[in-house]
Structure 1
Amino acid sequence: MAELRWEWARETDATVGPWQGDVDFVAAVATWLGDDRRTVWTAGTHELAIGMVCLTEHIRMPSPRRAAGGRWGYLGHLYVRPTFRGSGIGEELVRRVTETADDRGYAKTVLSPTEPSIALYERCGFTRDNLHMARRR
């Protein structure tokens, strides 16, 4: 996970050097992964991780109309190494997230897309909702 996140950052920030197994960064990612509200999937082999995605659960504040606030998911950190893009890996990772969100009974799953990712999310059932995209159960 840490290496994938590092490679993702390198794509958008030329000041990020090549991955060399930064121990502090690995520890920071491990701490981030320890949050029970977060579920992460990876794609690849034991030798090479090629993709990842995260689903974070949010609990709505109760309202006068609904004492139980309800839950929703946020899909984030979808990344597939450039040489594997277009192979269906991203779509499979998103499918895992949406199946899990449905199984958990989330009212919706939202995300903040990049322009190049919008077509993928639309194929997976998400629609535009202001600056975000949403997929309702």
Structure 2
Amino acid sequence: MTPHSATSLEQEDFDATFSEWLDANPRKFFLAEENGHAVGMLNLMVFERMPKPGTVPSRWVYLGNVYVRPAFRNAGVGARLVEAAIDFSRDIKAVRILLSPSPASRTFYARLGFQPAEALNVLTL
């Protein structure tokens, strides 16, 4: 795969790049529809922790790419999508859900129970 800048991807290149990304990063997708038309989506990546003797295996979830079409925002679509993702994560017995909110979305996620993480470390490259 040849590296591309976000502004240089032509549709043909984007399709191939997206397909490679999806194959390398299997995700669970959630879709919100109205009258058979997509109005919002999000995806989850489930991470299985390496098993260790004497411990119960665990997993965690990364929530990403939440998007609601502008005409459907502020009507509960995004909240219902995230709530469905939370329910799914509970069903698979995930121990946590992580995300990287934009400054504008922090209050949205806070209303749904997400809190800033203080127990994680990050190296920004």
On whether the aligned pair clears a TM of 0.5, the verdict is yes
Structure 1 counterpart of 2:104: 116
- Report the 3-state secondary structure (helix = DSSP H, G, I; strand = E; otherwise coil) of the residue aligned with 1:126: coil
How far apart, in 1, do the equivalents of 2:39 and 2:65 lie? 13
Instruction: Could you tell me which runs of 5 or more consecutive residues in structure 1 were left unpaired when the two chains were aligned.
Output: 1-12, 133-137
Task: State the Cα deviation string for residues 50-90 of structure 1 (Å, max 9, x = none).
Answer: 21101110122345763x54111011111112222111110
Instruction: Could you tell me which runs of 5 or more consecutive residues in structure 2 were left unpaired when the two chains were aligned.
Output: 1-5, 121-125
Q: 1:27 to 1:50 in 2, by over 3 A?
A: farther
Structure 2 counterpart of 1:75: 63
User: How large is the Cα RMSD of the aligned pairs?
Assistant: 3.1
1:91 aligns with 2:79: yes
Runs of 4+ that moved beyond 6 A: none
How many positions carry a matched residue from both structures?
A: 115
Taking only the aligned residue pairs, the percentage that are identical comes to 35
TM-score by length of structure 2 reads 0.72
Kindly indicate whether the alpha-carbon contact (under 8 Å) linking 2:30 and 2:81 is maintained by their aligned counterparts in 1.
yes
Kindly indicate whether the alpha-carbon contact (under 8 Å) linking 2:31 and 2:40 is maintained by their aligned counterparts in 1.
yes
Kindly indicate whether the alpha-carbon contact (under 8 Å) linking 1:53 and 1:77 is maintained by their aligned counterparts in 2.
yes
Structure 2 counterpart of 1:38: 27
TM-score by length of structure 1 reads 0.66
**Displacement of 1:23:** 4.5
**Displacement of 1:95:** 0.6
Q: 1:46 to 1:30 in 2, by over 3 A?
A: farther
Kindly indicate whether the alpha-carbon contact (under 8 Å) linking 2:30 and 2:41 is maintained by their aligned counterparts in 1.
yes
1:25 aligns with 2:14: yes
